[in-house]
Amino acid sequence: MGLQRVVVLVGFETVKEALVDQAEDFSGRAPVPFVYKATRGYGIVISNGERWRQMRRFTLTTLRDFGMGRKKMESWIQEESKHLVDLLRENKYKMQKEIDDVIGQTRSPTMEDRKSLPFTNAVIHEAQRFLDITPISVPHYSTSDIIFKGYIIPKVSVVTELISLNVIYFYHRFFPWTFNPNHFLDKNGNFNPNPAFIPFSSGKRACVGEPLARMELFLFVVTLLQHFTFSSPEGPDSVDISPEFSSFGNIPRKYELVATPR
């Protein structure tokens, strides 16, 4: 990374062995200059040791007190989706048809509905896979010497895990550069989770906001599609879905979207 050598953990099994089976060893965070500049070295994302442990505990407790992953949070997000609907107002695409058939256009979706909306759930997963916002996660750091798979990773090495499914797991089996919800569906159209799909990473340092982010993604997308048809002013072919910048993150391009009330 820059002039610094980096240990890159490649392959789902290897990533899991490091982040989950040797969780404590791999829980350090590297002083990534970009993150360091944004945080000035403070806060949960960049810190290490006892300071990080306390902030992580505090953050998780606060997010849970705030209702993350609970029923109450579900109703807040539903409420927020309704406001989004007021702000914005699709053609009968498969996703919209599934939503119409299962919950209709008036009732607010709940997280329970996810089971009955396999196609919608697959589209959301495929969008996260395809967009691949943080392909190498946020780099970790060895805070002491680590022995991993017989190798010694010396103290203060930057270690990063390739959490992108695209290169490793999908490559030989699927079409990674194509957006296709079938990547998350079995042949009968049931949702088919993929254990290697870890966009929020894994282990002790994994994203603290995962339950909240998952809830928001599902409830927002379903609510918006219940009420609007989305289109591109110059037709779908005018939209370039490749990232505008790719480095530590894949940053999507900005484009105009027309939301037509149904």
Q: Which residues sit in the known binding site?
A: 207
Cβ 91 to ligand HEM shortest distance, Å: 26
For residues 149 and 168, is the Cβ–Cβ distance under 8 A? no
- Residue ranges in contact with ligand HEM by CB under 6 A: 29, 44-45, 56, 59, 133-134, 137-138, 199-201, 205-209, 212-213
Cβ 172 to ligand HEM shortest distance, Å: 24
Residues of each annotated binding site for heme? 207
Q: What is the 3-state secondary structure (H, E, C) of 123-165?
A: HHHHHHHHHCCCCCCCCEECCCCEEECCEEECCCCEEEECCCH
Is 17 or 100 the residue whose CB approaches ligand HEM more closely?
17
Cβ 156 to ligand HEM shortest distance, Å: 17
Is 118 or 199 the residue whose CB approaches ligand HEM more closely?
199
Cβ 24 to ligand HEM shortest distance, Å: 13
Is 200 or 230 the residue whose CB approaches ligand HEM more closely?
200
Is 10 or 258 the residue whose CB approaches ligand HEM more closely?
10
Cβ 142 to ligand HEM shortest distance, Å: 14
Cβ 237 to ligand HEM shortest distance, Å: 27
Q: Which residue sits closest to ligand HEM, CB atoms considered? A: 209
Is 134 or 229 the residue whose CB approaches ligand HEM more closely?
134
For residues 29 and 46, is the Cβ–Cβ distance under 8 A? yes
Contacts 24+ apart (CB under 8 A), 79-84: 80/220, 81/108, 81/109, 81/219, 81/220, 81/222, 81/223, 81/224, 82/108, 82/223, 84/220, 84/223, 84/224
CA distance 117 to 248: 33
For residues 110 and 73, is the Cβ–Cβ distance under 8 A? no
Is 35 or 102 the residue whose CB approaches ligand HEM more closely?
35
**Both ends of the chain: CA-CA distance in Å?**
48
